[in-house]
């Protein structure tokens, strides 16, 4: 139980930005001279550049991973989350030995199989059968292992009828099914998975998740899972790691990690709202965080016109304050503070109840606003909406960008403006 | 904590020694090597009408053209051997060597996709290339044997000598030499693409620097040493001597070719192993 499967110590990975290969012979010599002859550190690895893709650094050298250390217990399912470019894929690539670290040591107990992509090495001219053997071998299986599991693999993939057809004739769904089936039957102690579940139809995705669950819970194997699908990560993993700009920001239970991540990436303007001083009200109930969440269950600052949006409110309250008589009003306004759309909870059929965690959500199935930027404000009161009953009122707590979409299914995007869109048709 | 012996199955570090070549890993993945060979072979003739017959087309036509241009028009000596047989023997052996170089030299670029996604000992790939080329060579060699038999029946003065026992060794030399040179080039091309332009015509030019279309003893005295710098010269000459009974069969030459091969091969494998770890970042 308490045996470590993976131990990572001070792992770092350096990348060179911009062009590689032209005019670097002299640099190569310089580097060679410094590192090999003088035994010094690489002169081009300037210390202290973390990987923030949004700002321009002073050097072409970037630490994609910087000084990461962690342990993973045997049998754990660990979800790795973080924004694009946080170093998740680099970490997986190093763990699966596709590329090697610049510094640091990784120690591994057991065989590692990695699934950075399904169907790596599939050859279009070969039949499904031949590709199962080929792909299995690429992933590190011995021939007899594959032979033993062959029927199981075909069964899982559900493409038995086409097994002797070249895979170039497969539909893309069948292709992925077959590929995942091979990978799912790897007999390794550690499985590394990178976002492969974003493919296939809903039924197959469910099957994959189920299979991965079996692998980690049932068979006691260690799973490392990278995904932007927070829902899937939550469902599958007990442990989590949150990477930010190449550094390990948080590691712990998955729920805590996800919360940390969502809070960190939520659409905040300026100061965190729990520290805002310009609020009105008696403070019996106070908002901590407001998070915009899109259809994919991701925290976001942008949404397509007409798309699904969920707003998550996290609040604090004083001990003896019940919330069943809480009234929440919230609104989106344009930049001139004209209210565009608003909701008040007491007009709506919902009763707030005490929950373990102090949060509630507002679901908007269709966010029918024209493309533009909207500010979010809220007002929490109890019993009535009169000013003497205000608990917490704050304006412009967050901004959401609405992006243009083909709202009317006309083949054209709707124009930008700060107004509401209603479905309508000319006759 | 007790000072228990920590057992780890694998340790990944940034720097490894120059000679940690992981041949054990290569051996563990031997099934994969065979799968690659099979894949290359099957995908070569899938959706063709003539199938494996295409293996014959290139050497036959090259031989015919060579016989016409160098034999009939230029009148270059073929050591008293039937022209077809002389050229075919050279082409068959040379093709194997040339294919090994050109295919291994682009191994990183051709497989960047697979290499970037999954780990297996990278050396498997070039090894599978020289093995699948061996099949191709085998087929072409069979053609050569048929021709040899035909000309023998016709009463031409060709005879197989005892040097034929060296045949497997010659193949091994060609394979390792091609592999070694190819690996060196492949490692360098991940960073400096320029080299890849050189390979295809470089190999073609080298053919004229080897005794494919002329026998060694027909070379002018003052240039002979240049040809003798080329280890392939001795291998081809020995190959001809073994099967046709004509050609220079110098033991010194073979020893020289062997040492060049071993040096280039070891150098190639080391530099390849050094490159494979990080090439994904630079290609």
- pLDDT tens digits, one per residue of B108-155: 888 888 888 888 888 899 999 999 999 889 989 999 999 999 988 888
Cβ distance B13 to A101 less than 8 Å, yes or no, reads: yes
Q: Which of residues 108-137 of A touch B (CB under 8 A)?
A: 108-112, 114, 116-117, 120-121, 123, 125-126, 130, 133-134, 137
Nearest CA in chain B to A9: B13
**How near does any CA of chain B get to the CA of A2, in Å?**
14
**Residue pLDDT, tens place only, A303-346:** 888 889 999 888 888 877 888 888 999 999 887 778 899 999 98
Nearest CA in chain B to A8: B12
Nearest to B39 among A28, A134, A142 (CB): A134
Of 3.30.450.20, 1.10.1040.10, 1.10.10.10, 3.40.50.300, the CATH number of A112-260 is: 3.40.50.300
**Residue pLDDT, tens place only, B194-206:** 777 888 889 989 9
**Residue pLDDT, tens place only, A107-135:** 888 888 877 777 777 888 889 999 999 98
Residue B255 sits at the vertex; the CA angle it makes with B251 and B260, to the nearest 5 degrees, is: 145
> pTM of this prediction?
0.70
pLDDT of residue A5 exceeding 70:
yes
Name the pairing type of β-strands A326-333 and A103-108.
unpaired
Q: What's the rounded Cα separation, in Å, for the pair B228 and B246?
A: 17
Count other Cβ atoms within 10 Å, centred on residue A203: 9
Confirm or reject CATH 2.70.50.60 for domain A273-403, answering yes or no.
Answer: yes
Q: What's the rounded Cα separation, in Å, for the pair A399 and A377?
A: 9
Nearest CA in chain A to B279: A99
- Which residues, in sequence order, are CB contacts of B145 under 8 Å at separation 6+? none
Q: What's the rounded Cα separation, in Å, for the pair B106 and B98?
A: 13
Q: What does the domain layout of chain A look like in residue ranges?
A: 112-260, 273-403
Question: Chain A within 8 Å of B9 (Cβ-Cβ)?
Answer: yes
Strand A222-226: give its sheet, edge to edge: A112-115, A190-194, A222-226, A77-81, A239-244, A247-253
User: Which chain B residues have a beta carbon less than 8 Å from that of A121?
Assistant: 114, 118
With residue A363 as reference, give the H or E element that holds it: strand A359-364
User: Which chain A residues have a beta carbon less than 8 Å from that of B113?
Assistant: 120
The DSSP secondary-structure symbol of B70 reads I
Cβ distance A101 to B12 less than 8 Å, yes or no, reads: yes
Cβ distance B29 to A102 less than 8 Å, yes or no, reads: no
Nearest to B31 among A116, A126, A142 (CB): A142
Of the candidates A125, A310, A262, the one whose C-alpha atom is nearest the C-alpha of residue B40 is: A125
A55-74 mean pLDDT: 77
* pLDDT value, residue A33: 63
* pLDDT value, residue B21: 60
């Amino acid at each position: 139980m308490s045996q470590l499967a993976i131990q990572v110590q001070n792992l770092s990975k350096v990348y060179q930005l911009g062009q590689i290969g032209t005019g670097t012979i002299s640099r190569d010599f310089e580097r060679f001279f410094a590192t090999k002859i003088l035994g010094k550190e690489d002169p081009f690895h300037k210390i202290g550049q973390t990987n923030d893709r949004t700002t321009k650094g002073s050097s072409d050298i970037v630490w994609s991973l910087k000084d990461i250390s962690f342990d993973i217990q045997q049998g754990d399912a660990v979800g790795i989350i973080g924004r694009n470019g946080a170093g998740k894929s680099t970490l997986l690539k190093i763990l699966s030995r596709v590329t090697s670290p610049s510094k640091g040591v990784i120690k591994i107990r057991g065989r590692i199989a990695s699934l950075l992509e399904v169907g790596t090495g599939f050859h279009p001219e070969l039949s499904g059968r031949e590709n199962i053997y080929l792909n299995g071998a690429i992933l590190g299986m011995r021939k007899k292992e594959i032979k033993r599991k062959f029927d199981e693999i075909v069964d899982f993939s559900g493409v038995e009828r086409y097994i002797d057809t070249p895979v170039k004739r497969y539909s893309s769904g069948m292709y992925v099914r077959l590929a995942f089936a091979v990978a799912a039957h790897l007999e390794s102690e550690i499985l590394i998975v990178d976002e492969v579940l974003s493919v296939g139809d809903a039924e197959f995705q469910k099957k994959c998740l189920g299979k991965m669950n079996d692998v980690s819970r049932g068979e006691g194997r260690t799973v490392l899972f990278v995904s932007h699908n927070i829902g899937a990560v939550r469902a599958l993993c007990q442990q989590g790691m949150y990477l930010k700009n190449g550094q390990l920001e948080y590691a712990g239970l998955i729920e805590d990690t996800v919360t940390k991540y969502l809070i960190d990436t939520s659409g905040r303007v300026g100061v965190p709202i729990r520290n805002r001083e310009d609020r009105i009200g008696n403070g019996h109930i106070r908002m901590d965080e407001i998070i915009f969440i899109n259809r994919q269950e991701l925290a976001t600052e942008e949404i397509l016109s007409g798309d699904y949006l969920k707003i998550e409110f996290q609040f604090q309250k004083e001990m003896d304050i019940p919330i069943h008589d809480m009234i929440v009003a919230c609104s989106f306004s344009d930049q001139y503070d004209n209210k565009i759309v608003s909701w008040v909870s007491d007009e709506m059929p919902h009763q707030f109840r005490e929950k373990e965690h102090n949060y509630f959500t507002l679901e908007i199935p269709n966010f029918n606003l024209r493309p533009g930027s909207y500010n979010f404000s809220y007002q929490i009161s109890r019993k009535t909406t009169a000013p003497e009953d205000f608990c917490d009122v704050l304006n412009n707590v967050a901004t959401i960008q609405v992006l243009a979409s083909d709202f009317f299914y006309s083949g054209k995007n709707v124009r930008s403006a700060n107004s509401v869109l209603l479905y309508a048709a000319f006759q | 904590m007790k000072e228990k012996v920590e057992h780890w199955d694998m340790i990944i570090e940034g720097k490894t020694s120059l000679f940690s070549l992981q041949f054990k890993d290569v051996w563990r993945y031997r099934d994969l090597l065979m799968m690659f060979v099979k894949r290359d072979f099957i995908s070569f003739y899938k959706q063709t009408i003539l199938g494996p017959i295409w293996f014959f087309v290139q050497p036959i036509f090259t031989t015919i053209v060579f016989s016409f241009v160098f034999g009939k028009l230029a009148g270059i000596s073929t050591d008293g051997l039937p022209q077809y047989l002389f050229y075919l023997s050279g082409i068959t052996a040379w093709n194997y060597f040339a294919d090994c170089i050109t295919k291994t030299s682009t191994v990183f670029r051709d497989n960047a996709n697979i290499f970037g996604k999954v780990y297996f000992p990278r050396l498997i790939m070039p090894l599978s290339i020289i093995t699948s080329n061996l099949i191709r060579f085998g087929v072409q060699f069979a053609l050569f044997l048929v021709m040899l038999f035909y000309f023998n029946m016709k009463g031409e003065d060709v005879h197989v000598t005892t040097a034929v026992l060296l045949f497997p060794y010659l193949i091994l030399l060609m394979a390792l030499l091609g592999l070694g040179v190819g690996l060196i080039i492949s490692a360098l091309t991940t960073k400096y693409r320029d080299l890849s332009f050189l390979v295809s015509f470089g190999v073609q030019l080298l053919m004229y620097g080897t005794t494919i279309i002329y026998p060694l003893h027909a070379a002018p005295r003052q240039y002979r040493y240049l040809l003798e710098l080329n280890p392939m010269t001795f291998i081809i000459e020995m190959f001809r001597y073994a099967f046709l009974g004509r050609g220079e069969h110098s033991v010194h030459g073979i020893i020289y070719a062997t040492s060049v091969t071993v040096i280039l091969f070891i150098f190639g494998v080391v530099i390849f192993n050094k490159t494979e770890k990080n090439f994904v970042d630079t290609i």
